[in-house]
């Protein structure tokens, strides 16, 4: 019975044949060698060929792209084996739902490169390379887990190209424009948050995830330990993100003054808490942009009313551009 659970042998037409059941309960078979092999030698060969990994698995000849995609999303790890950041998992899920689901019913190994190329070319420029790269990662994942045959022709992505150039150009702010925006924001929490992002260039999610215990007043550094994205706390997005950020004395003084002012000043409190939720979680970045940052930028004449994308990322861009221009 244990042999049945992971497969069994039959000798047919001079060959030793390994039999097993796939995930649908269908019987499948593979030739292992000549029928002169002993069962023991047969099992060794089954292990070498990795055939035991096919038992109770979807049939690689029929597995759909949708099945591989779901397995990829559930796995949720980077190439290094580390768990993906919460924000990356959310992005993957959104791209899968809105775009890659287009291929869900297609047998993964049978999708033609030119079919994918035609589909990708019809997408907006900003999406093309992201979805091409994600689709490529899904195929590699499928082959790694033997859901798709590990042959070159079973992975069409090698022949699919995508532009990495988007039509979108981030509005880069000069220090003067950042000040003009700041002058039109009266909420003290938002003012401090805008300054922190503008002068440290940390991501908005990393700024909102900050607790007072993350500030090293002696070494004048800000430790990035978590990310607040889509209403959940997660790990920072990348290893580079986790590096401590230098804090100028002026910024330290500003944060000290804000700590005196905020009702949530304990080490375990968030720097930018939601007062409505009694400090239990940080404020929501998109709401701050909508209610304060964007209206202030329009009022300051920095962006027109119909500017498609504007937010904290522009403040980060502004700083890096300013520093590069000033050597």
Q: What is the model's pLDDT at position 152?
A: 87
Q: What is the model's pLDDT at position 322?
A: 63
Distance of CA 188 to the CA centre of its chain: 32
Q: What is the model's pLDDT at position 58?
A: 73
* Residue 11 β-bridge partners: 16
pLDDT at 220 over 90: yes
Q: What is the model's pLDDT at position 126?
A: 80
pLDDT digits (tens, 9 = 90+) for 107-134: 999 999 999 999 999 998 888 989 999 9
In terms of Cα–Cα distance, which of 7, 22, 26, 6 is closest to 56? 22
Q: What is the model's pLDDT at position 3?
A: 59
pLDDT at 230 over 60: yes
Cα dist from 37 to 18, 20, 121, 172, 177, whole Å = 12, 19, 53, 70, 79
* Averaged confidence pLDDT in the chain: 87
pLDDT digits (tens, 9 = 90+) for 262-294: 999 999 999 999 999 999 999 999 999 999 999
What percent of the chain stands above pLDDT 70? Answer: 91
Residues 65, 156: Cα–Cα separation, whole Å = 12
Q: What is the model's pLDDT at position 1?
A: 38
Instruction: Kindly report the pTM of this predicted structure.
Output: 0.57
Calculate the dihedral angle through the C-alpha atoms of 49, 53, 57, 60, rounding to the nearest 10 degrees.
Answer: -30
């Amino acid at each position: 019975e244990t042999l049945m659970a992971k497969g069994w042998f039959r000798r047919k037409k001079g060959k030793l044949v390994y039999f097993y059941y796939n995930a649908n309960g269908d019987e499948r078979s593979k030739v292992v060698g000549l029928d002169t092999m002993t069962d023991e030698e047969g099992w060794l060969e089954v292990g070498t060929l990795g055939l035991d990994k096919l038992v109770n698995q979807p049939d690689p000849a029929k597995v759909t792209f949708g099945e591989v995609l779901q397995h990829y999303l559930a796995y949720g790890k980077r190439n290094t084996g580390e768990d993906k950041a919460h924000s990356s998992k959310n992005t993957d899920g959104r791209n899968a739902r809105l775009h890659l689901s287009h291929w869900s019913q297609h047998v993964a190994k049978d999708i033609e490169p030119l079919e994918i190329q035609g589909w990708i070319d019809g997408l907006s420029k900003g999406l093309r390379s992201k979805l091409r790269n994600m689709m490529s990662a899904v195929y590699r994942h499928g082959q790694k887990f033997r859901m798709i045959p590990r042959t070159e022709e079973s992975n069409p992505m090698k022949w699919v190209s995508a532009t990495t150039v988007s039509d979108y150009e981030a509005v880069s702010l000069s220090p003067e424009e950042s000040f003009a925006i700041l002058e039109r924001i009266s909420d003290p929490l938002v003012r401090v948050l805008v300054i922190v992002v503008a002068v440290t260039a940390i991501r908005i999610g990393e700024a909102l995830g900050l607790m007072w215990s993350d500030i090293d007043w002696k070494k004048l550094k800000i430790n990035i330990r978590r990310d607040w994205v889509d209403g959940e706390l997660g790990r920072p997005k990348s290893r580079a993100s986790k590096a401590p950020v230098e804090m100028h004395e002026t910024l330290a003084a500003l944060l000290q003054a804000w700590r005196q002012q905020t009702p949530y000043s304990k080490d375990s409190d968030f720097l930018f808490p939601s007062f409505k939720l009694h400090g239990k979680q940080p404020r929501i970045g998109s709401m701050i942009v909508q209610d304060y940052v964007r209206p202030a930028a329009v009022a300051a004449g920095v962006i027109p009313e119909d500017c498609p994308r504007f937010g904290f990322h522009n403040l980060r861009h502004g700083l890096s551009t300013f520093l590069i221009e000033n050597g």
